[in-house]
Chain A
């Protein structure tokens, strides 16, 4: 059935849609751009890719009405990095009001380590279809200066001077702080799981 699944990649001016689309196509998935709310009718699942600034991203989503459409969608959705942070109520980045789908706040790292966290870190994963077939404790690639604290929605944890949520789930909304499209075979497996197993 996954052969006919179309993945909508939300466009909001972020830099790395191409990376997400390349990764999805490498595992045989068809991607289309989602630019306006009516595009949601054409897709089966959604990905919000994540490189950019929270404030700019929300302005872009609001200007097209995609913010409300995303809040109301029943489609399985995967937010990546900033795309996950946008699911919360508020972000320290530009003191931005976000989509308020989940009740968490994104905060800036206030640690002695170098910021951003840039590179591969080990992620401890709970039982979730998103992680099917992966080790419980494995490497993913991170680039971020802001993080979601370990909250009730957490389905995976990571530590960088502080424990934080490496992945979350709430109803049909999934989010990952790392970049699966840049995390080698583990990342591609996770993306495949999102397409095949997450509803």
Chain B
């Protein structure tokens, strides 16, 4: 049986891992290559590296990080952050990334999803959706959570699948950084609507949150950052807890 996946996420700026609350208030969380190696040894099923650099110079630093991570860990890893074109994606894939995550660029140009999946295969294409709870339901945010789009998350997720997305990385902006649990209702709705895997993100604080997102939210994978970066829990500890709950994870 296919295992539920635990995926640590590294937000990278100026070659360092950073961690914030609701995408802000960044604090330093270490050397990304060392952190990647640590998570690999600790049983991470995959890794996500997000480039949150602002300048071109920093983007070159990020490429070096991707290259070094690819030589250090032998599990799949996804890279994203500011990818806008097939050429940029190709550069990152050739540098050693296994999958590319796109977000705002896909909202602005949905055909990018199709272009990437036709060129590299849909297994390479992760569409990241930042979702915010509103009175009318869940709405898609763009530009790293700073702008509203008026698009419903379910509608957008379906369209992404239709255009060739291989996976959806669904972040609840409402719960991100709060450590109060994943958005299980939202994740369940998206997961039941789609026939591609859904990675839930935002809000992991304790191992029970992972159990909830797998059993109640029907997520295929769960992504987390702070809970692992600041060593509240190791990946092994979370997985052991899940195994005790009868949830199938790789051990």
Give A residues with C-beta under 8 Å from B. 15-16, 18-19, 22-23, 25-26, 51-53, 113-122, 139, 141-143, 159-160, 179, 181-185, 187-188
Q: State A25–B94 Cα separation when bound (angstroms).
A: 16
Q: Tell me if B40 and A184 are in contact (CB < 8 A).
A: yes
Q: Within the complex, which residue of B3, B121, B197 is in contact with A114, where a contact is CB–CB below 8 Å?
A: B197
Interface residues of B in 72-131 (CB under 8 A from A): 74-76, 93-96, 98, 120-124
Q: Closest 4 interchain pairs by CB?
A: A120-B250, A120-B3, A139-B250, A143-B123
A23-B74, A116-B123, A141-B76 are known contacts; what are 10 more A-B pairs with Cβ within 8 Å? A52-B121, A114-B194, A114-B195, A119-B220, A120-B3, A122-B1, A141-B75, A143-B123, A182-B98, A183-B75
Q: Tell me if B5 and A16 are in contact (CB < 8 A).
A: no
CB distance from B64 to the nearest CB of A (A): 15
B167 within 8 A of A: yes
Q: State A105–B13 Cα separation when bound (angstroms).
A: 47
Which of B74, B96, B221 has the most chain A CB atoms inside 10 A of its CB?
B74
B29 within 8 A of A: no
Q: Tell me if B166 and A19 are in contact (CB < 8 A).
A: no
B196 within 8 A of A: yes
Q: Tell me if B98 and A16 are in contact (CB < 8 A).
A: yes
In the assembled complex, 25 residue pairs joining A and B whose CB atoms fall closer than 8 Å, in A order, are A18-B95, A18-B96, A22-B70, A22-B71, A22-B96, A23-B74, A26-B71, A51-B121, A53-B121, A113-B2, A114-B197, A114-B220, A118-B123, A119-B2, A120-B3, A121-B2, A141-B75, A142-B2, A143-B76, A160-B2, A182-B74, A182-B76, A182-B98, A185-B74, A188-B74
| Closest A residue by C-beta to B118 | A53
CB distance from B239 to the nearest CB of A (A): 11
Q: Within the complex, which residue of B74, B194, B221 is in contact with A119, where a contact is CB–CB below 8 Å?
A: B221
Q: State A179–B98 Cα separation when bound (angstroms).
A: 11
| Closest B residue by C-beta to A121 | B2
Q: Tell me if A15 and B124 are in contact (CB < 8 A).
A: yes
CB distance from B57 to the nearest CB of A (A): 24
Q: Tell me if A19 and B96 are in contact (CB < 8 A).
A: yes
Q: Which residues of B contact A119 (CB under 8 A)?
A: 2-3, 5, 45, 197, 220-221
| Closest B residue by C-beta to A23 | B74
Q: Tell me if B5 and A184 are in contact (CB < 8 A).
A: no
Q: Which residues of B contact A51 (CB under 8 A)?
A: 120-121, 123-124
Q: State A120–B5 Cα separation when bound (angstroms).
A: 8
Q: Tell me if B70 and A15 are in contact (CB < 8 A).
A: no
CB distance from A66 to the nearest CB of B (A): 21
Q: Tell me if B75 and A182 are in contact (CB < 8 A).
A: yes
Q: Which residues of B contact A160 (CB under 8 A)?
A: 2
Q: Which residues of B contact A139 (CB under 8 A)?
A: 3, 250
